[in-house]
Amino acid sequence: AKAPYDPANIFARIIRGELPNRTVLETEHSLAFHDINPLAPIHVLVIPKGNYVSWDDFTEKASEAEITDFVRAVGQVARMTGADAQGYRLLSNVGKRGGQEVPHLHVHVFGGQPLGPMLA
Ligand code: 5GP
């Protein structure tokens, strides 16, 4: 059985405004901000504002408006950061064995350099 959503996780606290962040884009249902420990010149995290841990969780429970908003936010961030013009990579770690450290669904946007086989 999967653990329930933990409202004390770091991204939940960022969404609630309890922790500062360097915001790139905020929409009705999504938030994008710079990773605190960037692994590339462009390293932005895009998250839905709702309480979702995984893609399964998100696509089962979120509204179509939330899903559309989130996917669109990823594309907008790629354009706004300049990543889209140069080529970039999306990565989403899910679960402990998938390398997910923060249990709130997120997509990493990496860019600004030639990208090797793996990041994060
Ligand atoms: P994961 O390993 O879960 O896919 O990635 C979590 C990411 O969140 C890591 O790249 C880590 O640097 C970033 N991160 C962890 N804590 C904070 C924080 O407080 N603020 C920001 N902006 N990023 C964080």
In the prediction, which pLDDT does 52 show?
98
Query: Does the model's ipTM exceed the 0.85 cut?
Result: yes
Q: Is residue 51 part of a domain?
A: no
Residue 15 in any domain: the answer is no
Give the pLDDT score at 8: 97
Assess if residue 118 is contained within a domain. Answer: no
Is 65 part of any domain?
yes
Q: Is residue 83 domain-resident? A: yes
Cβ proximity of 9 and 102 under 8 Å: yes
Q: Say yes or no: CB of residue 21 within 6 Å of ligand 1.
A: yes
| Listed residue (18, 85, 8, 79) closest to 46, CA to CA | 79
Site to probe by mutation for ligand 1, drawn from 16, 25, 34, 35 as the one with most ligand atoms within 8 Å of Cβ, is: 35
120 vs 118: CA distance, rounded Å? 7
Say if ligand 1 is within 6 A of residue 11 CB. no
Q: Are 102 and 11 in contact (CB under 8 A)?
A: yes
Cβ–ligand 1 contact at 10 (below 6 Å): yes
Q: Does the pLDDT value for residue 3 go beyond 80?
A: no
Asked, for residue 29, whether it belongs to a domain, the answer is: no
Tens-digit pLDDT profile for residues 12-68: 999 999 999 999 999 999 999 999 999 999 999 999 999 999 999 999 999 999 999
The total domain count for the chain is: 1
pLDDT band with cut points at 50, 70 and 90 for residue 119:
confident
In a domain, 32, yes or no: no
Arithmetic mean of pLDDT over the chain? 96
Q: What is the domain extent for residue 74?
A: 61-88
pLDDT at 98: 96
